[in-house]
Chains A and B, each alone.
Chain A
Amino acid sequence: MNEAATQTAPDIRAAQSAPLLDVQGMSISFATAGGRLEATRDIAFSVAPGERIGVVGESGCGKTITGLSLLRLLPEDVAHISGRLDFMGVDLATCSEATLRDIRGKRIGMIFQEPMSALDPVFTVGDQIAEGLLAHGRMGRVEARERALEALRSVGIAAPEKRFHAYPHQLSGGMRQRVMIAGAMICNPQLLIADEPTTALDVTVQAQILELLRDLSDRAHMALLFITHDLGVVAETCTRMLTMYAGEIVEDAGVDAALEHPLHPYTSGLLRALPRLSERRSALPSIPGRVPVLGQMPEGCRFRQRCPFATDGCEKPQALQDAGAGRRVRCWRFRDLDLPGVAA
């Protein structure tokens, strides 16, 4: 593995170096009885080596679909991906299945919300972790076992020799999530896609897992694409935040900037809906309405039906435009709006 390309520090500057992943114009559509439905549109973002990016938005905004599409994990007979998904020079959208198999698990790992459905109940934890090594590396069983034990240790599992022979149902939820992370990390991927990995966990266990992910990302200089609905999790884990709404990226900014001075009314609305920011027992602001369903997307700005700032002009198509300071926003009015963030 070429390590030289991945030595840049994971900060804002890193975004200007050669990206690890560069997604341009990605649209995902599904074949349905009623015709093709577009689930995401014009997704464009890049991930620098070692960078940690949070992807936020309500359910149905396309976060999970975007993550799955990066590894082409959607059923190919119904899901169609267009656009360019450049990962270290390979277009993930068009590369051969063999190339993709080499990338999956080895260079890009993925973990999910519910470890119980991602782990196979009839195999021991150790076998499932070693599986990645046996599939990708030219390595014997003994060495794979050693590496698997090491991986279990590195994710903070006590007595890994004992746990190695445990079945998933014998472990607690937090322990299972650690096992899944160990499995995803075992080939030292350059990018880990984490889809709500702590949502099903208790808050004290979530704190442990977030700490672990941050630490692993720092130590191995691994980039993280963190899909979550929890803005607190993003604030504590990531340096950049992509806000998705109705299948589009509506805002891309550094986490601090997005939290303090959101440029898109949707990002601002999400922040204002957090109970901790309102005075105790006061009425909580909410975003009226719901995410439009596929096939019923409004023309122009997709958020305008729920947006308190919608006006004439919002029915025109909105581009994700450069807002300066490395930020992008999909709102033509962003310069006129002074939107409240968490500090307001």
Chain B
Amino acid sequence: MTGERAPTLSVRDLRVEFPAAERGATVKAVDGVSFDIFKGETFGLIGESGSGKTTIGRAVVHLVEPTAGTILHDGVDPARLSSREFRAARRAWQIVFQDPNAALNPRSTILTSVMEPLAVSGVGSAEERRRAALQALARVGLPEEIGARYPHQLSGGQKQRVVIARTLTLKPELIVCDEVVAALDMSIRGDVLNLFAELQRELGLTYLFITHDLSVVSHISDRIAVAYLGRLVELGPAEAVTENAIHPYTRALLSAEPAPLPSHMRTGKRILLEGEIPSPINPPSGCHFRTRCGHAVDLCAQRAPEWREIVRGHWAACHFAEQFCSEENVAGEKAGATLLGG
């Protein structure tokens, strides 16, 4: 799937720092992250709060300024574009957020909201914009009469569809989906996820799908990256990451997901992590995960593990990745089931 093609998005050593409340301190929200996304791919990014996943997503669509590193869109560094070129180019990179209520103006009709990006970019006549907006609504499965309504008259799932429709009017190529189904009831999550898949097939969209929900990310992604405290700890094909996780954090994360299975179908022992994610103001030295890792040794505090390809297409940042990986292959067990019994 990744083949020899050039990536549509290429992120190299991305760092984003914010000033912290304490004088002089900085929050290292993203602390050296590199990955590529290919056209038509769904790239899942999972992590818990403080992992930097949302900041990565915002940096990718240039809503936050990177402190260091490069972000190339089809080989072009937007930082080198003139502001006019940049404004035209950025229509191709859109973002959809978790809460459609915050994304829609409660005093505007749905149609006005959907037309707005086109109006802002000055595309077409008023009538053309209206037609494009109605077309976009139809594309996400909403009837025309929805356009005359206000956000409060719609269900959560319908509102999220409206937000997606609005994004589509700009004919994007890459959409960052930041927890787009987290606020929806499980019964309609499927509908919205199906819609994303459908739009991808029809329009060849590329997704950076950010979520904390493992079952969602493993269902829809081609490849999955796992973030912890501002860094990626693992990246690989969705099956490999969910079935043969290498990094101890990925394994703990997978095992922590409550399984809706009857007792006799449960496999695998839970790896219960101690404590919580440390502060990104003062992350641990060496490997960021070492303070909660059951396998940490002195080396882990002294040196940050190298981000490297362990098996083809499957990357990890752990000093013992090769060892964990081979044990996994020997055991052939589902992730989390047999993590280092001895």
Contacts and interface: CB of A to CB of B under 8 A. Distances in A.
Nearest to B191: A286
A180 interface: no
B260 interface: yes
Interface in A214-251: 229-237
A8 interface: no
Interface in A75-126: none
A280 B218 contact: yes
Interface stretch (B9-17, B106-114, B132-140, B261-269): B261-269
Contacts of B253: 203-204
A255 interface: yes
A256 B256 contact: no
B219 interface: yes
B259 A203 contact: no
B272 interface: yes
Contacts of B189: 273, 275, 284, 286
B188 interface: yes
A287 B188 contact: yes
B262 A235 contact: yes
A268 to B, nearest CB: 12
A202 B212 contact: yes
B88 to A, nearest CB: 33
Interface string B277-305: 10000000000000000000000000000
Nearest to B256: A207
B155 interface: yes
B326 interface: no
Interface in B167-188: 185-188
Interface of A is mostly: helix
A204 B273 contact: yes
A162 B187 CA distance: 44
A313 to B, nearest CB: 24
Q: Which of B188, B219, B272, B273 has the most CB of A within 10 A?
A: B219
A187 interface: no
Contact of B258 (A202, A235, A260, A273): A235
A148 B163 CA distance: 48
B112 to A, nearest CB: 24
Contacts of A343: 262, 265
Nearest to A275: B219
B219 A208 contact: no
B187 A256 contact: no
Interface residues of A, number: 47
B218 A206 contact: no
A280 B243 CA distance: 12
A232 B261 CA distance: 7
A278 B260 contact: no
Contact of A235 (B238, B259, B276, B277): B259
A237 B260 CA distance: 10
Nearest to B42: A281
A58 B187 contact: yes
Given A260-B262, A275-B215, A203 B185 contact: no
A281 B258 contact: no
Interface in B204-249: 212, 214-216, 218-220, 238-239
B276 A172 contact: yes
Interface in B79-108: none
B260 A274 contact: yes
Contacts of B263: 256
A231 B260 contact: yes
Contacts of A152: none
Interface in A50-90: 58-59
A287 B184 CA distance: 13
A193 interface: no
B210 to A, nearest CB: 14
A255 B190 contact: no
A236 to B, nearest CB: 5
A278 B212 CA distance: 19
Q: Which of A207, A269, A277, A283 has the most CB of B within 10 A?
A: A207
Nearest to B273: A204
Interface in B41-93: 48-49
Nearest to B190: A284
Contact of A274 (B155, B186, B255, B262): B186
Interface in A291-344: 342-343
A206 B258 contact: yes
A283 B264 contact: no
B261 A208 contact: no
Nearest to A255: B262
Given A208-B273, A275-B219, A286-B188, A280 B239 contact: yes
B115 interface: no
B254 to A, nearest CB: 9
B42 to A, nearest CB: 8
Contacts of A255: 262
A170 to B, nearest CB: 12
A211 B269 CA distance: 13
B259 A270 contact: no
Interface in A165-206: 172-175, 202-206
A281 B220 contact: yes
A149 interface: no
Contact of B215 (A237, A260, A270, A276): A276
Contacts of B218: 275-276, 280
Given A273-B189, A283-B197, A259 B262 contact: yes
Closest 4 A/B residue pairs (Cβ): A284-B190, A232-B258, A286-B190, A202-B48
Given A229-B186, A231-B186, A275-B190, 7 more contacts: A172-B276, A205-B48, A206-B258, A211-B272, A284-B190, A285-B190, A290-B157
Interface of B: 48-49, 155, 157, 185-191, 193-194, 197, 212, 214-216, 218-220, 238-239, 252-253, 255-265, 270, 272-273, 276-277
19 contacts: A203-B214, A203-B253, A205-B48, A205-B276, A229-B186, A230-B258, A232-B260, A234-B260, A235-B260, A235-B262, A260-B262, A270-B186, A273-B187, A273-B190, A275-B216, A281-B197, A284-B194, A342-B261, A342-B265
